[in-house]
Amino acid sequence: MLYRTLLRPLLFFLPPESAHRIALSLCAHSRAAGFLRLLLPPSPSGLERIVWGLRFPNPLGLAAGFDKGGVALGAWEALGFGFCEIGTVTPLPQQPNPAPRLRRLPRSEALWNRLGFPSEGAERVARRLARRRAEQKWPNFPVGINVGKSRQTDLDRAADDYARAFSLLRPYGDFFVLNLSSPNTPGLRSLQQEAHLRTVLEAVAQTNPPPPKPILVKIAPDLGEKELGRILEVLLSGPCDGLVATNTLPTPGPGGVVGGLSGRPLTKRSTEVIRFLAQESAGRLPLVAAGGIFDAADAQEKLDAGAVLLEAYTGFVFRGPSFARDIGHGLLRGRS
């Protein structure tokens, strides 16, 4: 309530990237997690699930992109998320795309972005995570790490980038997501095609000795059934442990430049993708659903469609700090 009436208008008054920077640095403060726990009611219990042998306190995680460098893990746990996915992390540091990069579309409950993987690079993120571990400030929930290729790397060498970022970060992630579907890195989405997909998966698998970390692939929302079927075939026959569906939808923004649309306009489409994948894979591949989750009904719909875990970014921006807890309580109420 306080978020919608006071905090959100203040944050939405600022340019979106500034609002994000402020929110993230508040969450990254060393006392943020303790403060949030004091301020917010306890997270609901009874939603625990085990996937890839990992214990998730509840199925809703923070989607990739919000905390690209893994600076605020404790805050995501304190806010009631059941896990977080940091990244996208690229092997080398890189700057964002030129502006315009991020727009709010409040009437559509959507965001449009073409950030293009601003990243501190895998070495720096790995050092931060190592420090956190050493200081025993690791959260008590699974941490996923999303990796991507550097902007300047040719598609033919992309597999090396994924393997490099993965091997640097491997000690710190509980599971990994290969981002092959951002519309904001030229050519990246074509890595979803069979030959590239196999090459990337095999390169990563070679740097994943036993006990292997779970490797997931993140796909786009605008693939047809034929393309989805082909992707599933490769994933089911290769070294892959799950799928994240979906990334943002390529959409023209200011001046006609293409970026990715997220939030409410994606709700239905991403659920359809999950439903199709669940039917075709018949439970052989854990599915993580992302795209337009704003409340418990959206979350339940994606679970009913066959997802085992959920992720959200835009809903969190629009609904604020009580977002994950509200969904948790709503899911529990729906069961009784």
Ligand X SMILES: Cc1cc2nc3c(=O)[nH]c(=O)nc-3n(C[C@H](O)[C@H](O)[C@H](O)COP(=O)(O)O)c2cc1C
Of 182, 262, 270, 281, the active-site residue reads: 182
Per the CB < 8 A criterion, the answer to whether 303 and 310 are in contact is: yes
Among 248, 271, 320, 328, binds ligand X (CB under 6 A): 248
Q: Does 90 bind ligand X (CB under 6 A)?
A: no
CA distance 28 to 225: 41
Among 43, 94, 97, 146, binds ligand X (CB under 6 A): 146
CA distance 141 to 307: 19
Closest CA to 196 of 217, 168, 177: 217
Which range touches ligand X (CB under 6 A), out of 21-29, 30-38, 157-165, 308-316? 308-316
Among 215, 266, 288, 324, binds ligand X (CB under 6 A): 266
CA distance 235 to 237: 5
Closest CA to 80 of 60, 50, 63: 60
**What is the separation, in whole angstroms, between the first and last Cα of the chain?**
25
Q: How far is CA 69 from the centre of its chain?
A: 13
- The answer to whether 182 is a known catalytic residue is yes
Q: Which of residues 37 and 222 has its CB atom nearest to ligand X in the complex?
A: 222
Per the CB < 8 A criterion, the answer to whether 173 and 143 are in contact is: yes
Which x/- pattern, by CB under 6 A, does the window 11-50 give for ligand X?
Answer: ----------------------------------------
CA distance 66 to 83: 13
Among 151, 218, 302, 319, binds ligand X (CB under 6 A): 218
Number of other CB atoms surrounding residue 301 within 10 Å:
18
Which range touches ligand X (CB under 6 A), out of 5-13, 149-157, 193-201, 290-298? 290-298
User: Nearest-CB residue to ligand X?
Assistant: 65
Q: Which of residues 59 and 65 has its CB atom nearest to ligand X in the complex?
A: 65
Residues that bind ligand X (CB under 6 A): 63-65, 68, 87-88, 102, 111, 113, 115, 117, 146, 179, 182, 218, 247-248, 262-263, 266, 290-293, 312-315
